[in-house]
Amino acid sequence: MSRTPASALYWRILGINGLIFAAGTVALAMAPVTVSSFVLLRELPVLVVGLAVMMAANAVLLRASLAPLEGLTALVTRLDSLRSGDRLATGRSGDLFHLVDQFNAMLDRLEADRSTSTAAVLDAQEAERRRIAQELHDEIGQSLTVVLLELKSVVNRAPEEVAEELRGVQETVRSSLDEVRQVARRLRPGVLDDLGLTSALTALAADFSEAGGPRVTRRVQTGLERLGADAELVIYRIAQEGLTNVWRHSGARNAELSLTQDDGGRVVLRVVDDGSGPPTEVGAGIHGMRERAMLIGAQLTIGPADEDGTGTEVRLVVPPSGARRAAAP
């Protein structure tokens, strides 16, 4: 019959206690100490010291044996399925460390399965965005363009009092066409595919500034190494969601969008505002950002922009492409 971790722990504790009591018995038997049938007052200190020594030795040995359980409890308490890489230290001997190895292996499997399923969902989402954006551009956009051309022809032939009203309708249709194009561009940014991440982020910041939201300052480093289509799309979507949250929820007047790359190849995206501070609850938008960050092994943090707790900073740290390949499931 194979020995389970539970039975091994039982026999380990039993053995430790037996060893302590046996050592105490031998020490008392060989020591020049006697105990009367009725314990005398001068014998009490000897018994108390002996008991204290045995309890202290038992506590030290049990703490060393059960130490992995404390680490395991702490990990389970702080575990976040969207923050990968949090593991317990392994490599030591003992039955509980076998349990730690199995727990770490379970986390590896769960994260790999979650990454696979999340990637499939986000791929389907991007495909649906692409389809809707294409339909908006090809069908609704072209239909509104035809309406504008026909209105222009009617305005040229209409009496002046009617032509003035038609010009108002013409402006409304033109505004609707512009909004349709903006929605299509946000659903699937063609500039990201055509001109790259730097140009796409610059255009994104300009769109938010021109739409009447907070003034967005851009600080996008040029000459970035190619990050791959997946990483660039994740960076763009997180920047887009970050600016959307600034516009909708923060009440900020100013925001900054920055993208830099250090000498080690790490890319850092920051969206900072001077608004009311970080959100108190995690909504669907932040949850989606964390899922996207997990797909490329990036670290996403959301916290206050200043020491006094005002403003919000969204920070995404993307490891070099080699490290992302090594971390991919």
Distances (CA, A) of 166 to 141, 152, 180, 198, 270: 20, 9, 21, 41, 46
Question: Could you state, in order of their start, the residue ranges of all structural domains in the chain?
Answer: 5-76+92-115, 192-329
Is there a contact between 268 and 298 (Cβ–Cβ < 8 Å)? Answer: no
pLDDT digits (tens, 9 = 90+) for 67-125: 666 666 666 666 655 555 566 666 555 556 667 777 777 777 777 777 777 777 777 77
What integer is the mean pLDDT of 286-293? Answer: 85
- Ranges of beta strands (E only) in the chain are 215-220, 254-261, 267-273, 299-304, 312-318
The amino acid at 118: T
Q: Just give the CATH number of 192-329.
A: 3.30.565.10
Percent of the chain with pLDDT over 70: 72
Average confidence score pLDDT of the chain? 76
pLDDT the model gives residue 326? 43
- Greatest C-alpha distance within the chain: 127
Is there a contact between 104 and 90 (Cβ–Cβ < 8 Å)? Answer: yes
Choose between 312 and 278: higher pLDDT.
Answer: 312
